[in-house]
Structure 1
Amino acid sequence: MTDLSGKVALITGAGQGVGQGIAFALSAAGASIVLAGRTLEKVQKTADEISQRGGNAIAIACNVKSADDLAKAVDTAVKELGGLDILVNNAQEVPLGKLDDVTDEAFIAGFESGPLASMRLMKLARPHMKARGGGAIFNFASSAGIRWDMTGYGAYGAVKQAIRCLTRAGAAEYGPDNIRVLTIAPHAESPGLKGWFEANPEEAAAFFRTIPLGRIGRLEEDIGRAIVALCGADLDYLTGATIPLDGGQANFD
């Protein structure tokens, strides 16, 4: 595994699901981590598990729709752990449903917690990463943004596609500082995906049939360790791309 000893990571939405799996993997690779989440109890449990495994993590309450909370999260990484090398913009509220059913409030919340929060954290992280010689930023999108039938996924897809545009801009603008920016589009055993399976059993069954590898990704092993690898020197010429960690299901070409 890539050795990330001495690196500092900030992960939003680290109390469960994909964020937690990434936290476990980055910690196992040697990184120290700030775990940010809306519910402090959840991220504290993640921090406790990392501590039991011999890692170093700090849990903080953070609502990604709050600019002040985001600034506090970055400040915590810098002041408590010495800097910032890896940013994982994982947390997000997503607006689901047909266009006529998605409220303005849900759509705005999707943009505030997704593209706006990601952009804010990218801007906050940049000077600290630059001071340490570079870094890696991971934003999160979804294959829902490229479905052939967008019925029920228009608002969700719009939010996620906006994040991909920010990644491309970040890669171009931050590249001179040796900061790489990538979009990850995962299928993983998260509470959100499990809930979708339960609410849409027929669609879920059809969805499974479109995954060439025939399974959903494991949180730490498939998603987290891929992030670890992407942080390593062997892949430090890769930036601006959307990387689908989905068993081959989506086609982003």
Structure 2
Amino acid sequence: MKMLEGKVALVTGGGQGVGQGIALALAAEGARVAVAGRTIAALEQTCAQIAQRGGTGLAVTCDVTDPADIERCVAQVVDAFGGLNILVNNAQIIPLGRILEVTDEDFSKGLDSGPMATVRLMRACYPHLKGDGAVVNLASSAAVRWDASGYGHYAATKEAIRALSRGAACEWGPDGIRVNVIAPLALSPGLRGWMDAYPDEAAAFVHSIPLGRVGDCENDIGRTVAFLVSDQARYLTGATIPLDGGQAHWG
């Protein structure tokens, strides 16, 4: 029997990159997976891959900065699949730039799509997760970089997500809900494009990773998430798991 047989998962930002890799890995372990995001064509492409492998996927359009859209998205998933056991908060607008460069508007977008969306989705899913639910939220090693120039606003949004996750893990543990965080380094389309455009810088970047490679979205990141939300990790909650090949120091 697969680890997630009979489970229902919702993955935001599931149309590409890390979100897609997580969705594929959850489906491979038997979960029925709803992928949410703003671009229906990308979501349907992920669902097509799930179907080709014999799984069940559902594409749900959702703007995670819109509270009403979040409520509708969760209701649509529960109506389609009869319940919800797993939530993965992956979607976020990334506010990169130096302190004097990032506008209030761009920072607000990062906050609205990051910690605000995370807590709203957790609240919306809470009634369905009670009893035997699991949440995985995404953080970033940007929060622990010594060379943090250009990452301050982004790191702030991700550290807020970590704080909310720890609070939820403590408050919702008695309700049978586990909440963990991953900080992934993965070969997303954006990172792949940068590496192709700047091969010398990319080589130095990869050299800084003790395991000597950038993580695969499905096989390295997605499979770990599948483990975290399974019964095999039933005593793990409130933790941050660095999935970065050992690159960042989380001491």
Which 10-residue stretch deviates more, 43-52 or 201-210? 201-210
Please tell me whether the aligned partners of residues 3 and 231 of structure 2 are also in contact (alpha carbons under 8 angstroms): no
Report the AA paired with residue 183 of structure 1. V
Please tell me whether the aligned partners of residues 242 and 252 of structure 1 are also in contact (alpha carbons under 8 angstroms): no
Please tell me whether the aligned partners of residues 34 and 73 of structure 1 are also in contact (alpha carbons under 8 angstroms): no
Instruction: Give the Cα–Cα distance (whole angstroms) in 2 for the partners of residues 158 and 180 of structure 1.
Output: 23
Instruction: Give the Cα–Cα distance (whole angstroms) in 2 for the partners of residues 150 and 116 of structure 1.
Output: 23
TM-score (norm. length: structure 1): 0.95
1:94 aligns with 2:94: yes
Report the AA paired with residue 157 of structure 2. V
- 1:32 Cα shift? 0.5
Which 10-residue stretch deviates more, 117-126 or 202-211? 202-211
**Cα RMSD (Å) of the superposition?**
1.5
Instruction: Give the Cα–Cα distance (whole angstroms) in 2 for the partners of residues 200 and 152 of structure 1.
Output: 18
TM-aligned CA distance change 1:71 to 1:11, over 3 Å? same
Deviations 1:11-57 (A, max 9, x none): 00000000101111111110001110110110011111111211111
**Equivalent residue number for residue 170 of structure 1:** 168
1:161 aligns with 2:171: no
Please tell me whether the aligned partners of residues 40 and 60 of structure 2 are also in contact (alpha carbons under 8 angstroms): yes
- 1:205 Cα shift? 3.7
Instruction: Give the Cα–Cα distance (whole angstroms) in 1 for the partners of residues 102 and 147 of structure 2.
Output: 17
Instruction: Give the Cα–Cα distance (whole angstroms) in 2 for the partners of residues 237 and 66 of structure 1.
Output: 33
Equivalent positions of 1:62-211 (< 5 A) are 62-130=62-130, 133-197=131-195, 204-211=202-209
Which 10-residue stretch deviates more, 202-211 or 60-69? 202-211
1:226 aligns with 2:224: yes
**Equivalent residue number for residue 34 of structure 1:** 34
TM-aligned CA distance change 1:77 to 1:114, over 3 Å? same
Instruction: Give the Cα–Cα distance (whole angstroms) in 2 for the partners of residues 30 and 2 of structure 1.
Output: 6
Instruction: Give the Cα–Cα distance (whole angstroms) in 2 for the partners of residues 46 and 107 of structure 1.
Output: 29
Please tell me whether the aligned partners of residues 15 and 43 of structure 1 are also in contact (alpha carbons under 8 angstroms): yes
Report the AA paired with residue 216 of structure 2. R
Aligned residue pair count: 251
- 1:139 Cα shift? 0.6
1:16 aligns with 2:16: yes
Report the AA paired with residue 86 of structure 2. I
Report the AA paired with residue 240 of structure 2. T
Identity rate of aligned residues, in percent? Answer: 56
Alignment partner of 1:215 out of 213, 221, 235: 213
SS at match of 1:214: coil
User: Structure 2: where are the runs of 5+ without partners?
Assistant: none
- 1:249 Cα shift? 1.1
Equivalent positions of 1:228-247 (< 5 A) are 228-247=226-245
Deviations 1:193-252 (A, max 9, x none): 224445766654433222110001111111111111112222111111110111111121
Report the AA paired with residue 224 of structure 2. A
TM-score (norm. length: structure 2): 0.95
User: Structure 1: where are the runs of 5+ without partners?
Assistant: none
Please tell me whether the aligned partners of residues 115 and 166 of structure 1 are also in contact (alpha carbons under 8 angstroms): yes
Please tell me whether the aligned partners of residues 2 and 232 of structure 1 are also in contact (alpha carbons under 8 angstroms): no
